[in-house]
């Protein structure tokens, strides 16, 4: 599948929201409230990050999105954080992998030295496996830190990668 990744624009928001909303409503992988409003989600995904991107297929349809932001202010501002979501129709096609690799390139270009994922839900085995395949290490386990709607309190991982080797 031929895809491209570009910086998101305000016109992309309806397509981004159509991808984010079912994921946020499911409550299985992100800590956002399941009843998050579209306005709140737009603020979190489009306004707070340093940059937001979309992944589009050969037809120009948005099939994934990610944001890149500073993980911590001040003395921790050399570490970035990203969040990725792929449309249900495009899962398993390499979109998340392409976005993660792209985000690392962008992060290095912006001067970040490392990337940290703060709350990777342990039951999201596909994501855990992919991030490890892409060089991220589990550097911490937060016991029972995520309240999964079907599985109850499950562990979450902090995953980290130095970008100097990317």
Torsion region of 124: left, alpha or beta (phi above 0 gives left; psi -120 to 50 gives alpha) = beta
- In angstroms, what is the C-alpha Rg of the chain? 15
Predicted local distance difference test score (pLDDT) of residue 76: 96
Domains and CATH numbers, the chain: 3-162 (3.40.630.30)
Question: 116 forms bridges with which residues in the sheet?
Answer: 160
pLDDT string in tens for the chain (166-residue length): 799 999 999 999 999 999 999 999 999 999 999 999 999 999 999 999 999 999 999 999 999 999 999 999 999 999 999 999 999 999 988 999 999 999 999 999 999 999 999 999 999 999 999 999 999 999 999 999 999 999 999 999 999 999 975 5
CA dist., res. 87 & res. 15, Å (int): 10
pLDDT of res. 164: 77
Q: What pLDDT does 166 receive?
A: 55
Q: What is the DSSP letter of 64?
A: E
| Pair 71, 79: CB distance under 8 Å | yes
């Amino acid at each position: 599948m031929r895809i491209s990744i570009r910086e998101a624009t305000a016109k992309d928001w309806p397509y981004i929201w159509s991808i984010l909303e079912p994921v946020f409503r499911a409550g299985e992988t992100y800590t956002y409230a399941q009843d998050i409003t579209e306005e709140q989600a737009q603020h979190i995904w489009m306004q707070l990050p340093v940059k937001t991107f979309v992944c589009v297929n050969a037809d120009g349809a948005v099939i994934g999105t990610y944001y890149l932001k500073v993980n911590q202010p001040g003395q921790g501002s050399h570490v970035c954080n990203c969040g990725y979501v792929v449309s249900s129709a495009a899962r398993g096609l390499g979109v998340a992998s392409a976005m993660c690799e792209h985000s690392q390139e962008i992060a290095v270009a912006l001067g970040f030295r490392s990337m940290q994922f703060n709350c990777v839900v342990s039951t999201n085995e596909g994501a855990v496996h992919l991030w490890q395949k892409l060089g991220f290490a589990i550097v911490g386990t937060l016991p029972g830190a995520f309240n999964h709607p079907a599985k109850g309190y499950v562990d979450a991982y902090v995953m980290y990668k130095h970008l100097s080797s990317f």
